[in-house]
Structure 1
């Protein structure tokens, strides 16, 4: 997947419009559209701003498992988590840790 397509995919997964992403990054919508269509490539500085707006790091953009490679249920979970506040994300993380700890205890009991 090329850079533009990956940005478009991640933007849609984040629930952002092209206009909303452009606003967060400090570009206009036509520039985002050109990047997503592969007409032009973003500078590293612009790509870093796009990644920040999408909630990922630059290394994750290039090296991380792409969302389309994740199972659908994990894609949905991630999309939902992105809609939460930082405090809600922390609460969700705490809940998952408790659930996993309970699961580990059950394994040890067997």
Structure 2
């Protein structure tokens, strides 16, 4: 059996947290990523590393930054970028409502 690398364990744990916060099961997310559930499970346990290609897809699907997955926290700029990506994915018919809501939130003291 291969020895787990500390970095793979840390990144795998961060992936698991992000997946659970997004409300996905391993089966669902693995299908969206184009990998087997066993492979995603191995990544989350730290038994396998994640490729850069899979990391990029994962970040886009979950709407999180690579900083969050790699370091466990988002840089402020990364949080803003992730939010902007999520907002850009909103259906046009809901954008006005979202803009009004965001404006109200940002104007709170």
Structure with larger RCO (C-alpha < 8 A, sep 6+)? 2
TM-score by length of 1: 0.63
Selected match of 2:101 from 92, 95, 100: 95
Is the aligned partner of 1:50 residue 2:58? Answer: yes
TM-score by length of 2: 0.63
Is the aligned partner of 1:86 residue 2:90? Answer: yes
> What's the RMSD between the two structures over aligned residues?
2.9
For structure 2, the 5+ residue unaligned runs are 1-8, 75-85
For structure 1, the 5+ residue unaligned runs are 67-81, 105-110
SS of residue paired to 2:54: helix
- Bigger Rg, which one: 1
Q: Which whole-Å CA distance do the structure 1 matches of 2:15 and 2:96 have between them?
A: 26
Q: Which whole-Å CA distance do the structure 2 matches of 1:2 and 1:96 have between them?
A: 33
| Aligned positions, number | 87
